[in-house]
Amino acid sequence: MLITELKSRETLAELAEGKMLFIVNCLGCKEVHFPEKEAAALQREWSDEGRITGILTTDYTCNPENLKLRLHGHMAEIGAADAVLVFSCGVGVQTIARYLEDKPVYACCDTYPLPGFQGVTPLEYQCDRCGECWLNLTGGICPITACSKSLLNGPCGGGKNGKCEVDSQMECGWERIYRRLEKLGRLDALKGQARVRNFTAGEETSK
Ligand code: SF4
Ligand code: SF4
């Protein structure tokens, strides 16, 4: 189980600043908390400013086949946007980022754990519900689950030929992150890595 919470208004304003936006809302997991009203209010503001090219409200963005079908009818709107802003848990954001390889995809929510059964997602993109979601600094690839050591500030240096030193069958997550940011022309995002991270913000929420 998990909880999604909107990132702070300052963070979201920074993400959206000066950009045309395509929005994805994922309302699949009705049994978990999703900040539906807050997200809708914020999107109305952006819409009033004429900065939204389109909105897709769907369910189960974590299902790649479903997602592909849903996004298919919106590709022109996505093409007209500078960025895709996603209101979902970390799994949904990763699935969308994987599909829209040439477009910056940003997480608008943080994802926290909630005691109970783990939901079933039909794919390999993982979210450990670590709290302050790091995907906006890593090109939509999760450093917690894509790196064997869950490193947040860059690679360990042990990878060889693109493979992880802990698991040679696995691609080095940090090489993937670097390649994606390079492709997007966003390598500057790596400069923001070295800062204190909030590991505890979700504790109050999940009690
Ligand atoms: S950084 Fe990774 S584990 Fe943490 S909330 Fe984001 S997707 Fe989930
Ligand atoms: S080789 Fe890459 S994926 Fe493996 S632990 Fe080091 S940084 Fe992480």
pLDDT tens digits for range 93-124: 999 999 999 999 999 999 887 766 555 555 55
Position 34 scores a pLDDT of: 81
Task: Answer whether 27 contacts ligand 2 (Cβ < 6 A).
Answer: no
Token couple for 175 = 């090489």
> Residue 28 has what pLDDT?
75
The ranges assigned to domains in the chain are 2-206
Question: What's residue 3's pLDDT?
Answer: 83
What is the pLDDT confidence band of residue 23, given thresholds at 50, 70 and 90? very high
What integer pLDDT is reported at residue 30 of this predicted model?
61
Among 4-13, 24-33, 180-189, name the one with the lowest average pLDDT.
24-33
| Cα dihedral across residues 43, 45, 48, 53: positive or negative | negative
pLDDT band at residue 205 using 50, 70 and 90 as cut-offs? very low
Average pLDDT, the chain: 88
The whole-number pLDDT of residue 192 equals: 67
Residue pLDDT, tens place only, 122-134:
555 588 888 899 9
Query: DSSP letter string over 4-59?
Result: EEEPPHHHHHHHHTT--EEEEEE---TTSB--HHHHHHHHHHHHHTT-EEEEEEES
Per residue in 70-87, pLDDT (tens digit) is: 999 999 999 999 999 999
Distance CA 146, CA 144 (A): 6
**Cβ of 174 less than 6 Å from ligand 2:** yes
Decide: 177 in ligand 2 pocket, CB within 6 A.
no
CA 129 / ligand 1 centre spacing (Å): 5
pLDDT band at 206 (very low <50, low <70, confident <90, very high): very low
**Pocket residues: Cβ below 6 A from ligand 1:** 90, 111, 127-130, 133-135, 142, 144-145
Instruction: Please give the pLDDT value at position 203.
Output: 56
Q: Whose CA is nearest to atom 8 of ligand 1?
A: 127
pLDDT at 143 over 60: yes
* Ligand 2 center to 171 CA (angstroms): 8
What pLDDT digit, counting tens, does each position of 147-196 carry?
999 999 899 999 999 999 999 999 999 999 999 999 999 999 888 666 66
Nearest to 26 by CA among 39, 14, 9, 42: 39
Mean pLDDT to the nearest integer, 2-23: 93
Q: Which fold has domain 2-206?
A: Rossmann fold (3.40.50)
More confident residue, 27 or 141: 141
Digit-coded pLDDT (tens) for 56-68: 999 888 888 889 9
* Lookup result for tokens 């093409």: 79
- For residue 82 the two structure tokens come to 């500078």
Least distant ligand from the CA of 168: 2
